[in-house]
Amino acid sequence: MASTILSSLGEAVLHSNSLATITDNWVVVRRAESRAQVVMAIDSISAVKTFKTTHFNYLACALGCLVIALATLCSKEADGATVPFALAGTLLLIGAQVTRQASLAFLVDADIIQTAYGTLSEAATLVVTLQLARGRRRRGEHDYFSWLRAYIALLV
């Protein structure tokens, strides 16, 4: 759908993923609340905020497994149960980190337009592409280190 909108505007796509599509002049956002899409001019976006979510079920189960592993380590009758519980807790912590999601909120005048949830890398790529597009429009130069800064900011 975004390609149809942008082809009618005559724009070349800089980047597109499940959250939004960015061109030199426009951003087409897939809304979180509905299946609608919003077309915004890049110049009208005053700020971009990232919302990150974590599945707390993974974290709660990981904490429980690690507490049981610690208890079996201190117990005299553990019978080798420490390693399986520690391994399960570690795998659940890795699962919680891998399944994290992010959403972007664009501040346009007095409105806040939020995208659907996607992966952290999709959100970081959109933020960096938007910064590069805005930088190109303002100064005509590129900031290649912004990719690294955006990915590190989303992983923290």
* Residue that wins the pLDDT comparison between 145 and 66: 66
67 pLDDT higher than 70: yes
Entry pTM: 0.69
Residue 119 structure tokens:
């992966």
**Average confidence score pLDDT of the chain:** 82
Q: Are 7 and 19 spatial neighbours (Cβ–Cβ below 8 Å)?
A: no
Task: Give the mean model confidence (pLDDT) for residues 98-116.
Answer: 89
> Alpha helices, DSSP H only, in 39-98?
56-74, 82-98
